Amino acid sequence: MAAALETLQALLQTLNEIKELPLNRESLESLIYWRDVKKSGIVFGAGLVTLVAISSFSVISVFAYLSLLALFGTVAFRIYKSVTQAVQKTNDGHPFKEYLELDLTLSQEKVQHIAGVAVAHLNGFTAELRRLFLVEDLIDSIKFGVILWVFTYIGAWFNGMTLVILAFVSLFTLPKVYENNKQSIDTYLDLVRTKLTEITDKIRVAIPIGKKPVAATESEKDK
């Protein structure tokens, strides 16, 4: 029992440290590259358990059970510390005092920063979809169509939550695998990229529709 309560206290401390991390690219990379195994492990484990639970039960049930589990842990820890203080005749105060005094409010600057980043990505995504669907470049639109066709098969094999779980697991595994095998993976990726470029160039020559080459555009301007 004592070991479980100590684990709960360590979990709360870790969550507090994660909460205090700035919401930036460096903090995200620190998690997905497992710079701190304890923090990354807690985030990965909690996220994976939650996603698997949501795939099997309703969101409301998962939220209720997880909340009950957390409440049971905090109540048990509170009682344990109160009994310990009474037996040892100490006055350490409330065991969750530092968390009760923790400021959970989001600053206006942080909210504006997050909103700005989200809007910038949304605008870029919308512009790219417009370019692809309105066939600004025929080859790019054909490649986009092939990707959509592949997605129809992926959608037939997996449901939405399964894809979310796979994406979450990949987020915490593939970056680290790439970091540990960067040289060999880059070699194979360069080969694939070269082949794809050659095939795309051949298609552009066979179907001269889409964006004009830069050299050709400059020569037309000279004329």
Is residue 111 assigned to a domain?
yes
Note the pLDDT of residue 44: 92
Q: Across all residues in the chain, what is the average pLDDT?
A: 82
Total tally of structural domains belonging to the chain? 1
Is residue 143 assigned to a domain?
yes
Is residue 218 assigned to a domain?
no
pLDDT tens digit string along 25-51?
Answer: 677 888 888 888 888 898 899 899 999
Please, are residues 102 and 20 in contact by the beta-carbon 8 Å criterion?
A: no
Is residue 124 assigned to a domain?
yes
Tell whether the model's pLDDT for residue 75 goes beyond 80. yes
Tell whether the model's pLDDT for residue 11 goes beyond 90. no
Is residue 140 assigned to a domain?
yes
Please, are residues 23 and 110 in contact by the beta-carbon 8 Å criterion?
A: yes
CB atoms inside a 10 Å sphere around CB 31 = 20
Is residue 128 assigned to a domain?
yes
Question: How open is the CA angle 87-90-96, to the nearest 5 degrees?
Answer: 100
Is residue 97 assigned to a domain?
no
Tokens 């004329």 appear where?
223
The dihedral through the CA atoms of 151, 157, 160, 162 has a sign that is: negative
Is residue 209 assigned to a domain?
no
Its domain, for residue 114, covers 105-157
For 94, phi then psi, to 5°, come to -70, 130
Tell whether the model's pLDDT for residue 3 goes beyond 80. no
Question: How open is the CA angle 89-92-93, to the nearest 5 degrees?
Answer: 115
